[in-house]
Amino acid sequence: MRACGYGCGQQTERDFVPGHENGAIQQRVREHFDGSTSAFLAWLDETLAMGVRASAAAG
pLDDT tens across 23-48, in order?
Answer: 999 999 999 999 999 999 999 999 99
Return the higher-pLDDT residue of 58 and 23.
Answer: 23
Q: Give me the helices (H) in the chain, please.
A: 20-32, 37-58
Whole-angstrom distance, CA of residue 48 vs CA of residue 54: 10
37: containing domain? 2-58
Antiparallel, parallel or unpaired: β 11-12 and 2-3: antiparallel
Q: What is the pLDDT of residue 57?
A: 76
Count of structural domains, the chain = 1
Neighbours of 4 (CB within 10 A): 19
pLDDT of 51 over the 90 cut = no
What average pLDDT does this structure show over 3-22? 96
Give the mean model confidence (pLDDT) for residues 48-56. Answer: 79
Give strand pairing partners of 12. 2
